[in-house]
Amino acid sequence: MTLLLRLISTVALATLLTGCQSTGSYRITLKDGRQYLCKGRPEYQGKTGYYRYRTFEDRDSMLRADEVLMIEEQGT
């Protein structure tokens, strides 16, 4: 497992365990079924082909755009 994937998995697990959802949160669903919650709308970086988003632990994180299935806004 690569370091980046391990880091993203750890952040996602911590986010899911805290259960923090507030106005302006989004759920990113990947093609393999994994889901990530983030603050604010993820931004697509055209030069790199990645989505950049902010976790609930106030860290920046990135996901490859070709792995993303959908991005949904979460209700309150």
What domain range includes position 44?
3-73
pLDDT in tens, the chain (76 residues): 587 777 677 766 666 555 544 448 999 999 999 999 999 999 999 999 999 999 999 999 999 999 999 999 997 5
Provide the domain count of the chain. 1
Can you give the CATH number for the domain in which 14 is found?
A: 2.30.30.100
- Short-list 49, 54, 53, CA closest to 64: 49
The answer to pTM > 0.85 is: no
